[in-house]
Chains A and B, each alone.
Chain A
């Protein structure tokens, strides 16, 4: 039973570019959340998707956008990249139940030069 998978594992971009990160949820999960984790810090919530719509959003600018597909997989897009966007981007999936643990992938390490 595959867990949460993310691609790519590493990515290097320059300021001003755009990036797309991808996530496949754990089998049986229908809800995907994205988090940003800066070095030495805890993950910060970006947004959550289920039923192909953004359901909740954290304190991130609209340069950060996403999408969920009918098969529950998801993409995170970031436009006009800034140096401060360098971080580990984590995807987590769960069933759409209030109190179920979110299961995380190993993330995409994004470096902005």
Chain B
């Protein structure tokens, strides 16, 4: 089946800088997208979500942008902190009542340099 992919496997940023993590999805039938953060030895932690009828959503220090025209999703983290170091996954969900499984990409590792 189709799956979500990521452009960069590893992103290294300086503490205090802004981070941008990108994701490409291939299924135009997806209507819901989620970003998760996974720290070593833990399960994925929900960060922010966005529905396909939106193109931007903001949370605390995070912003998700959705470009349906080019099937692209990004996560922006403002003032990146050492605690933001983790693997970040984007996930998509197909529309329809019987399709609630999430399809994950392979992840991007964010390394924050002090």
Interface residues of A (CB under 8 A from B): 4, 31, 33, 35, 40-45, 48, 55-56, 58-59, 90, 92, 94, 98-99, 101-107
Interface residues of B (CB under 8 A from A): 1, 4, 31-32, 34, 36, 41-46, 49, 51, 89, 91, 93, 95, 97-107
Pairwise interchain contact A107-B100, C-beta atoms closer than 8 A: no
Closest 5 CB pairs of A and B: A42-B104, A104-B43, A45-B101, A106-B43, A99-B32
Pairwise interchain contact B43-A107, C-beta atoms closer than 8 A: yes
The CA of A104 and the CA of B36, in the complex, are separated in Å by 10
The CA of A8 and the CA of B15, in the complex, are separated in Å by 36
- A92 proximity list for chain B (CB < 8 A): 102
Pairwise interchain contact B42-A102, C-beta atoms closer than 8 A: no
The CA of A105 and the CA of B43, in the complex, are separated in Å by 5
The CA of A7 and the CA of B100, in the complex, are separated in Å by 24
